[in-house]
Amino acid sequence: MTLTIVSLLPSLQNTNGDAENAAVLAARARWAGLDARVVAVEQAADLPERVDAVVLGSGSDASLDVARERLLALVDELRRWGTEGVPILAVGTGWELLSWGIERADGSTVEGLGIVAGRGVPREHRIAGDLVVQVPRIGLLVGFENHARDYVGAEASPLGRVRAGTGNGRRSGQEGVRMGDVIGTHLHGPVLAKNPVLADAILRRMCERAGLEYAPGARTAEVDGYAETARQAQLRAAGVNAAV
């Protein structure tokens, strides 16, 4: 069996390299001795027969309307995947497009697909900097946030609590949204390269659904050492004590 990771709209939604989260999943699966591939899906006709995970990266505001139109053709599949427990990782504007909608600073709105609770709303100043999040059963996640909108309406289902940075904003102290196996986050990095523990959690869920066993391979330990060095540097820069 070949695990198939779909990368949605990578030509539009890869501003911060977040579409490469799909490549991280595929690489770690192969290091574990599993067959895995990444399929780029720019339109409904590109969809493979089998989907084991979905990655939707972040794009520019200039491409929001085009990205929304393409995603609308996939809304039935996205809802089905979310209901069936297919892991979906959406970052930045990709996450916002799966929400109830996006309010722009000029007063216009982009209607979301309604896959996850909440919406993006304008903030006075753009946020850019280190973001550290404490996630239940996962631990500390690190990344870089860069967004001009806060996210409201996800208070009952956040991904985690902010230890450093802004996250969803509006003094919520929360970051992201998690509804079943659908995750939305502001964490760029890409998030799965910087946080192997989250990548492995997604891979275990993928393998569970596929009837496979997942055990990180020998190469994984070497790569995770590099990631941990980068994580510790970012935690120090953000003033976060990982031992707390």
b or e along 146-183 (b: 16 or more beta carbons within 10 Å of the residue's beta carbon)? bbebbbbbbeebbbbebbbbbbbbeebebbbbbbebbb
Contacts of residue 37, defined as CB under 8 A and 6 or more positions apart, other chains included, come to: 2, 3, 4, 5, 26
- Is 209 known as a binding-site position? no
Residue 151 token pair: 């996210």
DSSP summary character for residue 241 = -
DSSP summary character for residue 156 = T
Q: Which residue has the tokens 């990771």?
A: 5
Q: Which of 125, 147, 186, 188 is catalytic?
A: 188
Residue 188 annotated among the catalytic residues of the structure: yes
Catalytic residues: 188
Q: Which residues are annotated as a binding site?
A: 126
Q: Which residues are annotated as a binding site for substrate?
A: 126
